[in-house]
Amino acid sequence: MFNVFFNRVMKVLGIETSGNIGGISLCENQQCIITKTFSGIVQHERELVPAIKDALEEAHWQINDIEVIAVNVGPGSYTGLRIGVTCAKTLGYALNRPVVDVPIFDIIAENYHSGSTLSLCPIIDARRKHVYACVYLFEGNRKKRLTEFLVIEPEKLLALLPRPVTIFGDGIPLYKEIFSQEDIIIEAEYYAIPKPEHVALLGEKLYVSGYQCALEKLLPLYLQR
């Protein structure tokens, strides 16, 4: 069942605290209107709430104008994710607003648009000789997941990848010898930086499709080996 907000303008707050560069974004009717960023995981807890307040003031929104809260749930920095998820959950309870949990793979996949390949795979370092990954297929302007969210050894991921494929992320430099193949295009690592505006925009799309996360179940996404 589609949400009752589907056919009207929505105001969404996106929260991104999964890595060294954090931020928030206010989006309205699938358009980003204000984004605030801050650096350093240790700064996220200190700067997140002031950034939200500043953005609301600049947008001339009241805090009660926020209709949906979207948050990156990772995988990523344990400390950073905990800060973002706690803030989203607190706002959800305080404002009685829905919260949407958005996985980092979907967020960073939005940084890349179809180029010379029809498939895409963000790869994130999971340590201990493993990576996090998810394979996507371009279908027009949309991206369809071809796999679940994976925590996998690089050699096994290589065997799963469709060809040709574009890959990017901080999980590649450690295993560049494995992924350096003729039919694998390695893109710049900056494509793997999650953007708060994509958190908000994806959160809105998920919400109008009928999805939201039960607040008591809102947790960072940790993938088990």
Q: Indicate which CATH number applies to the domain containing 80.
A: 3.30.420.40
Write down the pLDDT at residue 140: 81
The C-alpha R_g of the chain, in whole angstroms, comes to 18
Based on the fold, state whether residues 148 and 213 are members of the same structural domain. Answer: no
Based on the fold, state whether residues 16 and 73 are members of the same structural domain. Answer: yes
Q: Which domain holds residue 85?
A: 11-105+193-217
Please indicate, yes or no, if residue 225 is contained in any of the structural domains. Answer: no
pLDDT digit string, tens, across residues 13-38: 999 999 989 999 999 989 999 999 99
Write down the pLDDT at residue 7: 55
CB 101, CB 90: distance < 8 Å: no
Q: What is the tally of structural domains in the chain?
A: 2
Q: Is 130 helix (H, G, I), strand (E, B) or coil?
A: strand
What is the average pLDDT across 151-167?
97
Write down the pLDDT at residue 176: 95
CB 210, CB 3: distance < 8 Å: yes
pLDDT band at 114 (very low <50, low <70, confident <90, very high): confident
Six token digits for residue 51: 């950034």
pTM: predicted TM-score of the whole model, two decimal places: 0.93
Based on the fold, state whether residues 50 and 76 are members of the same structural domain. Answer: yes
CB 123, CB 171: distance < 8 Å: yes
Res. 2: pLDDT tops 50: no
Q: Is 46 helix (H, G, I), strand (E, B) or coil?
A: helix
pLDDT digit string, tens, across residues 46-87: 899 999 999 999 999 999 999 999 999 999 988 999 999 999
Based on the fold, state whether residues 50 and 146 are members of the same structural domain. Answer: no
Based on the fold, state whether residues 197 and 101 are members of the same structural domain. Answer: yes
Write down the pLDDT at residue 39: 84
Please indicate, yes or no, if residue 223 is contained in any of the structural domains. Answer: no
What is the average pLDDT across 194-211?
96
What is the average pLDDT across 155-177?
96
What is the average pLDDT across 190-202?
96
Write down the pLDDT at residue 42: 62
